A = this chain, B = another copy of it.
Amino acid sequence: MDEFSRIQYWNAKRQEQALKVSLGVKVDIGDDAAVVALPYEVHRDQSQYESLYTVDTMVEDIHFSSETTDFEHIGYKALAANLSDIAAMGGIPLHALIAISIPDHYSADHVMRIYNGIYDCANRYKVAIVGGDTTSSPHSLVLTITVIGMVEQGKAILRSGASVGDIVFVTGVPGQSAAGLHLLQHANTSQYPVALVDSLIRAHQQPEPHLQAGRLLSTSNACHALNDISDGLISELSEIAKASHVDIVIDENQIPLSDSMSQYAGKSGQSMFDWVLYGGEDYILVGTASREQFASIEASFREQQLQLYAVGEVIAGNGEVWMDSWNDGLQLQKRNQIMNRGYNHFT
């Protein structure tokens, strides 16, 4: 058995049997395919469930560089990004498959550390890793993760449901991941307070999927459209606006900011709003909800000590995103159309 096969063999024993049983896993890593009980057999309540499938690829030197991301964090973040897609549907993640293509210059220790990150995230969010494929790669590491989840029948929250009059909200502070990346690439971290450095770097390296928030939104029956912020706030809002055939207006003054990000932007002379609007990889949720029921959604978030910020509203239109800027007297100053310039791999 070569060293990578040994890692796979060891991986099959890394999760508690009780977790696997609770998730219906009958056969995991090591046969042609995984065998799992259907989710409705796991959750024996009255609800009928539908399945959710999502897949995401992280490519070395495109999505991450081993200079700014530890091997553990490559793994953690790759799975977290997939779980975030399940959160953005309002669903519950159940099972994951890991396909990894490993270049020659990676040692078994590097690969083990990537898996450590993947399993940390899987165990934290109670997801069973049930299979995968390990191959060599001529140049770069490529990590593709598939996640299977479930949601109550008809309750998946799509991008296309935003209605005129809806409140637009976010479930956290956008831009911190981009600020953290800038800090890692450009700053002498010893010049900044430890708490600032830690919070921004953590936002970049180890984002948490907002699964609990997604479930609150799905069970509220009042959330009409939802995305997770992988490509930047404006890019995600633009997707919702286009899919829903509406326009979205956000209010500059309502967008939540963090002290760490403001401080770092001020001292480093960077534009904080670039991070906030276009940064990406925050994996917080952004969506629209019924204005009438927004107070009750806010109450449920408060009760579970989760963040929720109203940042704008849905207006009639056909796919555009606008931002209101205000002067000191709080009189309406200007409504500017905001162009989407989120990251695109091919332009």
Chain B residues contacting A36 (CB-CB under 8 Å) are 50-51, 53
Q: Which of the listed residues A40, A86, A101 has the most CB atoms from chain B within 10 Å of its own CB?
A: A101
**Contact at A34–B52, with CB atoms within 8 Å?**
yes
Which DSSP category, helix, strand, loop or mixed, fits chain A's interface?
Answer: strand
Report if A101-B26 is in contact (Cβ < 8 Å); known contacts: A2-B347, A346-B2. Answer: no
Chain A, residues 240-283, CB within 8 Å of chain B (1/0): the string is 00010000000000000000000000000000000000000000
Whether A318 sits at the interface, judged by CB under 8 Å, is no
Q: Out of B27, B59, B226, which one reaches A135, CB within 8 Å?
A: B59
Whether A338 sits at the interface, judged by CB under 8 Å, is no
**Contact at A95–B53, with CB atoms within 8 Å?**
yes
Q: Out of B37, B95, B139, B147, which one reaches A50, CB within 8 Å?
A: B37
Chain A, residues 20-55, CB within 8 Å of chain B (1/0): the string is 000000110011111111111000000001111111
Whether A156 sits at the interface, judged by CB under 8 Å, is yes
How many identical chains are in the complex?
Answer: 2
**Contact at A3–B135, with CB atoms within 8 Å?**
no
Interface-side segment among A11-19, A116-124, A125-133, A322-330: A125-133
Chain A, residues 139-173, CB within 8 Å of chain B (1/0): the string is 11010101111010000101110000000000000
List A residues 214-257 near B (Cβ within 8 Å): 226-228, 243
List A residues 324-347 near B (Cβ within 8 Å): 344-347
Chain A, residues 88-129, CB within 8 Å of chain B (1/0): the string is 110100010111011000000000000000000000000000
**Contact at A137–B32, with CB atoms within 8 Å?**
no
A100: nearest chain-B partner, CB-CB: B57
15 A-B contacts, Cβ less than 8 Å apart? A2-B344, A3-B346, A26-B156, A31-B158, A31-B160, A32-B85, A33-B156, A35-B89, A53-B95, A53-B148, A55-B99, A57-B133, A62-B138, A136-B345, A142-B142
Seen from chain A, the residues whose Cβ lies within 8 Å of a Cβ on chain B are: 2-5, 26-27, 30-40, 49-57, 59-63, 85-86, 88-89, 91, 95, 97-99, 101-102, 130-140, 142, 144, 146-149, 151, 156, 158-160, 226-228, 243, 344-347
